[in-house]
Amino acid sequence: MGPYDLSQIHDVSREFQIYGDLRQVEPCKIGHINETYVATYNQGGAVVRYVHQKVNTEVFRDPAGVMDNIGRVTRHQRARLEGIGTTDVTRRVLTVVPTRDGETFHQTAKGQCWRTFVFIENVRTYESVTSPALAQEAGRAFGEFQRLLSDLPGKRLVETIPDFHNSRRRFDSLVGMVGADQFNRAKSAAPEVKFAMSREKIVDVILKAMARKQIPERATHNDTKFNNVMVDCTTGKATCVVDLDTVMPGCALYDFGDMVRTTTSPTLEDELDLSKVHARMPLFRALCRGYLEATEGMLNKHERALIAFAGQVLTFTIGLRFLTDYLAGDTYFRVHRPGHNLERARTQFRLVESLERQAEEMQKYADSI
C-alpha cells in the first residue's frame, strides 16, 4: 500500500468504532514487524488521529491471543491508574479502539488481522539513550509497567512467542546448528562459538531459580528497548509503554536485562569497532534507580540479588540468537550485508564481557537502593 492509498484503510476504518471523515493516511516507520499507519480524521471540525496496524501473522501466529493479552493488560493498567487518581490516563496507556462488533481486532475476508489504537499526541521515541536522565526514564517506565500488572487477575496470559527468552533453548539450538553446519559457516564463527560454549553455566541460573519458585513468573513486556517508550515532548518524561505484542508470562529480570543491553552501550547492536562497545556505568546506575524505585516492594530478594547478572544473561542470549541465525543461513533476522548476524553476535558478546567486568560494582549499587 502506498503512503496515500486510502482505499484499504478506508475499508478497514469502517470496521472500528471511529466517527468522522478519513482525510489522510501516512505510513509509520517505527517497528519492523507489523504494518503501521497513522490516519487523520475530521470529527466535527476537530482533527483526530488513530493508529491502524496490520498484525504480522507470520510472527504472531495467534493474533486472537495477542489481542486478548493486550486488551486485558491495557484495561487493567487503566483501572489501576484511575484508581490512584491519574488524570492523563489516555496518554499513559494504549487505548484499543473496538470494532463495531466490540472485538479487539478485525479479520478481513483475506485473513488479514487489523487493530486500531488512539494516537498519543505530543510524544516522541528515541532510538538510543543518550543521557542518564533518559536512562532513568526508561527504567521507571518499564518498572511501572510491571508494577501495574503485578496483580493482573484471571487466567495466565497467552504465550505469544513460546520460549522467547529461554536461554537454555537458545543455547541448545546453537549447539545443534554448530553440529549440523549446513552452510559451512562454523569455521568463520569459531571464536564466537568458543565464547558461547565457555559460558554455558550462566544459561540456567534464572531458569533454575524460577523452577524452584524462588523467582516468580510475572506479566512482562519482553521487548524493553527504549524506542518502545513514548516520551513527552514538553516534559521529557516517559508517558506510555507501547508495542505490547510480546507481553506474556515471563521473568522481571529478563525485562531489566534487555534494558541494560539496549540502554548502557553507546553503540548500535552491529557496531564493527568493538573497542567502542562497553556498558556505561552512569547509565546503568540511572536505569537501575528508575527501575528499582518504580518496582519498590514488588521484587523479592532473589530477583534483586540477580539484577546485575540479568544484563549479562540477556545480552548473552541475544548474542546466541544472532550467532545461531548466522549459522542457519540468516533465516530470522533481516541482514543487510554478508556476515551481518555474526557481527551482531560479536557486539553482544563484547558487551557481555564489559558487563562481567563491572558486575560486582553494578550489584553493589543495586543493593544500595
Which residue segments constitute the domains of the chain, with CATH numbers given?
7-120 (3.30.200.20), 132-368 (3.90.1200.10)
Instruction: Please check whether residue 15 is in contact with residue 114, taking contact to mean a CB–CB distance below 8 angstroms.
Output: yes
Q: Which long-range contacts (CB under 8 A, 24 or more apart) does 171-179 make?
A: 171/196, 171/200, 171/203, 171/320, 173/320, 173/324, 174/320, 174/323, 174/324, 174/327, 177/324, 177/327, 177/328, 178/327
Q: Which helix (H) or strand (E) holds 148?
A: helix 132-148
In the numeric block, which cell numbers belong to residue 333?
533476522
Which amino acid is located at 101 in the chain?
A: D
- 154 CB neighbour count, 10 Å cutoff: 7
Instruction: Please check whether residue 55 is in contact with residue 115, taking contact to mean a CB–CB distance below 8 angstroms.
Output: yes
The pairing of strands 106-107 and 113-118 is antiparallel
In the numeric block, which cell numbers belong to residue 294?
518504580
pLDDT value for 187: 97
pLDDT value for 186: 97
pLDDT value for 255: 97
pLDDT value for 178: 98
pLDDT value for 31: 61
pLDDT value for 114: 97
What are the residues whose beta carbons fall under 8 Å from the beta carbon of 150, sequence distance 6 or more?
A: 218, 219, 298
Distance from C-alpha of 178 to C-alpha of 327, rounded to nearest angstrom = 7
pLDDT value for 32: 64
pLDDT value for 5: 52
Distance from C-alpha of 69 to C-alpha of 104, rounded to nearest angstrom = 10
Q: How many Å is the maximal CA-CA distance in the chain?
A: 65
Report mean pLDDT in 10-residue bins for the chain, 369 residues: 62 93 85 85 95 92 96 97 94 97 94 96 91 96 97 96 94 98 97 98 97 97 94 96 96 97 92 97 98 97 98 97 97 91 98 98 97
pLDDT value for 333: 87
pLDDT per residue as tens digits for the range 243-272: 999 999 999 999 999 999 999 999 988 999
